[in-house]
Amino acid sequence: SIEIDEDSPEDLKARAPIVTVMGHVDHGKTSLLDYIREENVIAGESGGITQHIGAYGVTLESGQKMTFLDTPGHEAFTAMRARGAQVTDIAIIVIAADDDIMPQTKEAISHAQAAGVPIVFAINKIDRPTANPDKIKEGLAQMNLLVEDWGGKIQSHDISAKTGDGVKDLLEKVLLEAELLELKANPDKLANGTVVEAFLDKGRGYVSTILVQAGTLKIGDYVLAGTCSGKIKAMQDERGKNIKKAGPATPISILGLDGAPQAGDKFNVLDDEREAKQIAAKRSQLQREQSVRTQRH
């Protein structure tokens, strides 16, 4: 069995917030994620982020860290939530200032609200001559979403994901929101977390990007993730650097699983390799039986 141990308050240490970017198609989610990824170079580290592993961590000028799920669109968010995974602490919802509040914007808002995740609005494309951020804020007010400029409590910032204008201030607002959440995790135990994506690489075998949410993952640990298991052979960060351990709110790609788990699958580290294999096998069998049953009905 997988033990769910209770952490005592003194075991908990501050961790970085995990942020998802959502919004209507073409409103600038990818551009914003790209801008943040490309602009941020960790102090003392020469290389930028070279790998698209589905999530990345950045360090702001203030020295504070933030983790972004690099899977724009709420499809990934919804898929993960459907599997019971709650990985996001804060949602940035991008709205193009030269457009309207569109159906997918509304969907993103309701997904975030349903998950109880605080929203920070990024009113994007303000470099465009036809941009009208006030019209967007008015539209939000009509939906009962009052942003700060309108006397409300919801954070919002005008940005251009293209020129980078306002992006730093947007991130500071996200951090402020994160501070209110007092995010903590216990780094001193066996790791658990969520699978972000996984695929089969011809040369390297199964590569999975996972987000450690609690504990510390180490090379040699036995991991159980959905219906897959295996001993961690190697870990890499988003800069392609080999690392030996990863603590809470760290996204990493790992090698060593015997298959590709699904986005949103939880992972755990078990003491015992045999137990990990047995649980994975039992889950596969249950899944097969379930699919046989659904085919019959």
Angle between helices 74-82 and 103-115 (to 10 degrees): 40
Question: From the list 71, 105, 156, 160, which residue makes contact with ligand GDP (rule: CB under 6 A)?
Answer: 160
Question: From the list 17, 54, 57, 72, which residue makes contact with ligand GDP (rule: CB under 6 A)?
Answer: 72
Q: Pull the structure tokens for residue 254.
A: 């790992």
Question: From the list 135, 162, 218, 277, which residue makes contact with ligand GDP (rule: CB under 6 A)?
Answer: 162
Number of residues located near ligand GDP, criterion CB under 6 A: 16
> 127 vs 275, which CB is nearer to ligand GDP?
127
Contact letters (x/-) for ligand GDP, 82-101, by CB under 6 A? --------------------
> 127 vs 172, which CB is nearer to ligand GDP?
127
245: exposed, middle or buried (Cβ count in 10 Å: 0-12, 13-18, 19+): middle
- The residues with which 65 forms a beta bridge, in sequence order, are 59
Question: From the list 25, 181, 200, 281, which residue makes contact with ligand GDP (rule: CB under 6 A)?
Answer: 25
Q: Pull the structure tokens for residue 252.
A: 């990493």
Footprint on residues 193-222 left by ligand GDP (CB under 6 A): none
Stretch that binds ligand GDP, among 125-133, 140-148, 149-157, 269-277 (CB under 6 A): 125-133
- Report in angstroms how near the CB of residue 31 gets to ligand GDP at its nearest: 3
**What is the residue whose two structure tokens read 């917030």?**
17
Long-range contacts of 140-148 (CB under 8 A, 24+ apart): 140/101, 143/101, 143/106, 143/109, 145/109, 145/119, 147/121
**What is the residue whose two structure tokens read 């690489």?**
201
Identify which of 241, 264, 268, 262 has the alpha carbon closest to the alpha carbon of residue 253: 241
Q: Could you tell me the CA-to-CA distances from 138 to 128, 144, 245, 261 in Å, in that order?
A: 19, 10, 47, 43
Stretch that binds ligand GDP, among 106-114, 115-123, 158-166, 223-231 (CB under 6 A): 158-166
Question: From the list 111, 125, 157, 266, which residue makes contact with ligand GDP (rule: CB under 6 A)?
Answer: 125
* DSSP code per residue over 103-114: HHHHHHHHHHHH
Q: Is 52 annotated as a binding residue?
A: no
Question: From the list 23, 187, 247, 256, which residue makes contact with ligand GDP (rule: CB under 6 A)?
Answer: 23
Q: Binding site for GTP: residue ranges?
A: 23-30, 70-74, 124-127
Q: Which residues bind ligand GDP (CB under 6 A)?
A: 23, 25-31, 72, 124-125, 127-128, 160-162
